[in-house]
Structure 1
Amino acid sequence: MSESVSVCMATYNGAGYLREQLDSILAELRPEDEVVIVDDASTDGTVALLETYRDARVTVHRNPQNLGYVKTFERALTLADRDVVFLSDQDDEWVPGRRDLLVNALRDRSIAAGDLVLLPDDSPLRSPLTGRPWHLAPLPSGGSLANELRLLAGDAPYYGCAMALRREAKELILPFPDFLVESHDLWIATVGNTARELAHVPSPVLRRRLHEANASAPRPRGLRKALQSRWMLLRAWREATRRIAAVRRATGSAA
């Protein structure tokens, strides 16, 4: 049976690249799919641009005040109700075939992440630690301690814009932890890895656009911010472990 898809997009002052992104998304979707857009109190022409779309699959919700991208994505995820949920930024382009690649990866896993390439020439994303092309390594077991350590070290290329999850996974992912002020994508990857429910798609699912207004910085951060981020991810790992154990106790599932 065909599975329907919700695309969750957070927008904020993104009129410059939004049309290219949304057009690439709609070209991939089927009539039963939806695009849930939550605008985070934009002050430019973002909402006006979105209102030009006369497509029943697109719904736009507006935050009454700016909440930041983490809370905005959280709201979008709560509104999504299709079988599979995709995350989407406002300024990239989907690769043709992305929908099927990620849906197929979720046949036996609840969370999937794919590789990405960079606009405009499809050059590889490079590791901020080594400078080498940055790819997701095979993960046949759905997760491992080694993979979590790579994630904590900042050497795992998990980007929300290249991720998808089954609707049931929202039980573990939502609500986002109160301490999560950035990196919702790393939280989702941590949950998937800890639950052994994470699939890697070893081919590009997105063409990413780098520019100064990206929510995730393209350059390495200072030592203090890096350490704060690592501490937050350690807390995320502990919280993921707690939630997974609670669900398994409630359902009688094996650890």
Structure 2
Amino acid sequence: MSGPRVSVCMATYNGERFVRAQVASILDELQPQDELVIVDDASRDSTVRVLQGIDDPRVIVRAREVNRGYVRTFEEAISLATGDIILLSDQDDVWVPGRRELFVAALAEAEVAASNLELLDSGDPLPHPITRRPWRLRADQSAQGLRNNLRILAGVAPYYGCAMGFRRDVRERILPFPGLLTESHDLWIALFGNAHRTMRHIESVTIRRRIHDANASPSRPRGIGPVLKARVMLLRAWVTARSR
């Protein structure tokens, strides 16, 4: 065994259509000492059967009988990780070759890291929610903790859990997720990293994001009421992040 041990944490729910391709792209990246920790949130389809049929000792599957939602499912997966570096993964995207090494390098100097991503079908960058121009993280904004968190509150910071990771030695400060958090575990982690000025932006694309009708993260704009409720929740989460 050489170098850090990486744990990939995935939450699954009714993901039978795409999860095998996602797991294959992850395992192609992982080293023999690494692990893929998957917690299934009481899927009603064949997701668990598909996962249990993958013959690789690095894959650890825990099937939950009661559905608790993706935030608590990711929390459980993260709590089970044993690696030095923890990377998050959705069930339906595809990893870009080199993702593991980019995060290992970034997290040698920072506690939290986030990369860019592109759309799987087209290869296009994510569109900015307002300008529709390419929406990317910039490396030179990594240390702008206050500005980055204000961007999160404004809804214009492209932090996605599927393109994030952190060092295990900060897990005890990231977990447990605040009880008020009903969504956006990824933005909680980003708020934490920026609040403590230990965020590193990776400009490279490390994920190809699959957009489909069952994405946990909405691809369409929400109404003003849900948006305001979410912003208040994130503001409270920011206050909590600063105290940890």
TM-score (norm 2): 0.97
Cα deviation, residue 137, structure 1? 2.3
Using the alignment, how far apart are the partners of 1:141 and 1:59 within structure 2?
A: 33
Q: Which residue of 2 aligns with 1:117?
A: 118
Judge which range, 122-131 or 83-92, deviates more.
122-131
Q: Is the 8 A contact 1:31 1:57 kept in 2?
A: yes
Cα deviation, residue 169, structure 1? 1.4
Using the alignment, how far apart are the partners of 2:142 and 2:51 within structure 1?
A: 41
Q: Which residue of 1 aligns with 2:10?
A: 9
Q: Which residue of 2 aligns with 1:99?
A: 100
Using the alignment, how far apart are the partners of 2:145 and 2:165 within structure 1?
A: 19
Cα deviation, residue 140, structure 1? 5.7
**Which amino acid is 2:46 matched to?**
G
Judge which range, 118-127 or 17-26, deviates more.
118-127
Per-residue CA distance 1:196-248 (angstroms, 9 max, x = gap): 110000010100000111000011111001101110110011001111xxxxx
Cα deviation, residue 42, structure 1? 0.4
Using the alignment, how far apart are the partners of 2:71 and 2:211 within structure 1?
A: 19
Q: Is the 8 A contact 1:6 1:82 kept in 2?
A: yes
Using the alignment, how far apart are the partners of 2:87 and 2:54 within structure 1?
A: 20
Using the alignment, how far apart are the partners of 2:142 and 2:149 within structure 1?
A: 13
Using the alignment, how far apart are the partners of 1:140 and 1:180 within structure 2?
A: 26
Structure 1 residues 174 and 11: CA distance shift in structure 2, 3 A: same
Judge which range, 1-10 or 86-95, deviates more.
1-10
Q: Which residue of 1 aligns with 2:26?
A: 25
Residues 1:214 and 2:244 are matched in the alignment: no
SS state of the match for residue 18, structure 2? helix
Residues 1:59 and 2:78 are matched in the alignment: no
SS state of the match for residue 16, structure 1? coil
Judge which range, 100-109 or 177-186, deviates more.
100-109
When the two chains are superposed, the root-mean-square deviation of aligned CA atoms in Å is: 1.0
Cα deviation, residue 64, structure 1? 1.9
SS state of the match for residue 124, structure 1? coil
SS state of the match for residue 203, structure 2? strand
Per-residue CA distance 1:28-83 (angstroms, 9 max, x = gap): 00000000000000010101101111110001001120000000000000000100
Aligned residues: 243
Which aligned pairs between 1:42-53 and structure 2 lie closer than 5 A?
42-53=43-54
User: Identity, % of aligned pairs?
Assistant: 56
Q: Which residue of 1 aligns with 2:155?
A: 154
Q: Which residue of 1 aligns with 2:87?
A: 86
Residues 1:137 and 2:138 are matched in the alignment: yes
TM-score (norm 1): 0.93
Using the alignment, how far apart are the partners of 2:197 and 2:7 within structure 1?
A: 23
Per-residue CA distance 1:76-116 (angstroms, 9 max, x = gap): 00000100000000000000000001111111100000000
Cα deviation, residue 141, structure 1? 5.6
Q: Which residue of 2 aligns with 1:74?
A: 75
Q: Which residue of 2 aligns with 1:190?
A: 191
SS state of the match for residue 182, structure 1? coil
Q: Is the 8 A contact 2:142 2:201 kept in 1?
A: no
Q: Which residue of 1 aligns with 2:226?
A: 225
Judge which range, 128-137 or 186-195, deviates more.
128-137
Structure 1 segments, 4+ long, off by >4 Å, are none
